[in-house]
Structure 1
Amino acid sequence: MSVETKQLNCIMCPMGCLLTVTLTDGAVTSVTGNTCPRGEVYARQELTNPQRMLTSTVRITGGELPLLPVVSQTTLPKGRIMDCAEALRHISVEAPVKAGDVIAANILGLGVDIVASRDMDVLQ
């Protein structure tokens, strides 16, 4: 039986609690230092299946700007963020676009849509 202790800062709220996580044989067995329940949820997920939001841009033709800001609707597996960013490099959309429009549905089969994070009108 191997017991390991890790420390990490919670990013779920502005408190930034210093969490101490105990892992026994690779499984989280305790989390301390959190001042709210979100800290424990964060620590367990961060050490077993880390997730991140993706914010990026895609090319847009006919728009007021050459790039359209986009964001993932929910979190993506941290290990796949760069793959998703690479996939977005090959996407181009046509103006006009409204905030919330799906730009890349189910990116890389991960079950997460990439959506426009702002309106982009046609260049006048």
Structure 2
Amino acid sequence: MERELICICCPIGCHLKVNIEENKVAGNGCKRGLDYGIKEVKNPVRILTTTVKVKNGELPLIPVKTKGEIPKDLLFKCMEELKKIELIAPIKIGDVVISNILGTGIDVISCRDVKNLK
């Protein structure tokens, strides 16, 4: 079975053809495309970026992201976990919002400082 993908590793956007049974990639202009094609077909992963509610802060929401890639099929479950969170200001950039989210070994961290209103 063969899947067609557009590589997102660089601005060129090579059109890849990934043969799943043979672990072969065609159309890649570099090694990153080869690695991306196989990884995207076998175990797609993403970095999750979103916002979390803040209590007593100068802003009502704070941007957060996963510190590394998580399995693509866990994105919506992670979003559900993050919806339950309400951080209390002050918050510093890089603070861990959730450690080891859903057992992935990846932390969710804050991407901005938020001062306390009081």
Q: How far off is 1:80 after superposition?
A: 0.4
- The two structures have a TM-score, normalised by structure 1, of 0.91
Aligned amino acid, residue 109 of structure 1: G
Aligned amino acid, residue 92 of structure 2: K
- Partner residue, 2:92: 98
Q: How far off is 1:22 after superposition?
A: 1.2
Unmatched segments (≥5 aa) in structure 1: none
- Alpha carbons 2:96, 2:108 under 8 Å: kept: yes
Q: How far off is 1:29 after superposition?
A: 2.5
- Greater strand percent: which structure? 1
- Partner residue, 2:7: 10
Aligned amino acid, residue 49 of structure 2: T
Task: State the identity %.
Answer: 44
- Partner residue, 1:87: 81
- Partner residue, 1:74: 68
CA–CA distance in structure 1, aligned partners of residues 108 and 20 of structure 2: 34
Measured against aligned partners, the alpha-carbon deviations of 1:8-31 in whole angstroms (never above 9, x if no partner) come to: 00011111110011122xxx4210
Q: How far off is 1:68 after superposition?
A: 1.0
CA–CA distance in structure 1, aligned partners of residues 20 and 52 of structure 2: 40
SS in 2 for 1:20: strand
Is 2:26 aligned against 1:19?
Answer: no
Aligned-CA RMSD value: 1.0
Measured against aligned partners, the alpha-carbon deviations of 1:56-82 in whole angstroms (never above 9, x if no partner) come to: 111111111111110000011000000
Q: How far off is 1:39 after superposition?
A: 0.4
CA–CA distance in structure 2, aligned partners of residues 84 and 50 of structure 1: 15
- Partner residue, 1:46: 40
- The two structures have a TM-score, normalised by structure 2, of 0.95
- The number of residue pairs the alignment matches comes to 118
